[in-house]
């Protein structure tokens, strides 16, 4: 079974600063997906960024980027030039690489991020 660990329950940072959220996972799989989802106060789950484990290049989406260390089973999220709208819970999640019959996401417990004006 896979496990996802987020060791930072809460973080806060000043607006416009950079913040990094940590995530580690445990799996015996070689191919898989990793995700960061954002959950703002509205409770909607929003996909922030996705990384395929077979890709060595770190994924980037505008101000969001990841540091994917496969050997260390680490998948951190960096938010640059943080904005007030980034205030949310952030969940790290794992999915086996299209395992027909088992495409569920395994989530970490989340990090509550607050951007301070």
**Site of interaction with other proteins (CB under 8 A):** 33, 35, 42-47, 50, 52, 91, 95, 97-98, 100-110
Nearest approach, Cβ of residue 79 and other proteins (Å): 20
CB of 21 to other proteins, least distance (A): 14
What are 64's two structure tokens?
């969001």
Contact 75, 21 (CB under 8 A): no
Residue 78 CB, nearest approach to other proteins (Å):
21
Nearest CB to other proteins, comparing residues 17 and 99? 99
The whole-angstrom separation of Cα 90 and Cα 8 is 10
Q: Give the CA distances from residue 24 to residues 7, 81, 88, 100, 117, in Å, rounded to whole numbers and listed in that order.
A: 8, 24, 20, 24, 29
Residue nearer to other proteins on the CB measure, 9 or 117: 9
């Amino acid at each position: 079974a896979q496990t996802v660990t987020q060791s930072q329950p809460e973080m806060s940072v000043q607006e416009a600063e950079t913040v990094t959220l940590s995530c580690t996972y445990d799996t015996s799989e070689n191919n898989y997906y990793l995700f960061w989802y954002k959950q703002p106060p509205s409770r909607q789950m929003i996909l922030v960024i996705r990384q395929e484990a077979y890709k060595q290049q770190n994924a980037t989406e505008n101000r969001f980027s990841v540091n994917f260390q496969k050997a260390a089973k680490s998948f951190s999220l960096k938010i640059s030039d943080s904005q007030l709208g980034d205030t949310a819970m952030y969940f790290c999640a794992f999915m086996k690489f299209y395992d027909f019959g088992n495409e569920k996401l395994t989530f970490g417990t989340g990090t509550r991020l607050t951007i301070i004006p």
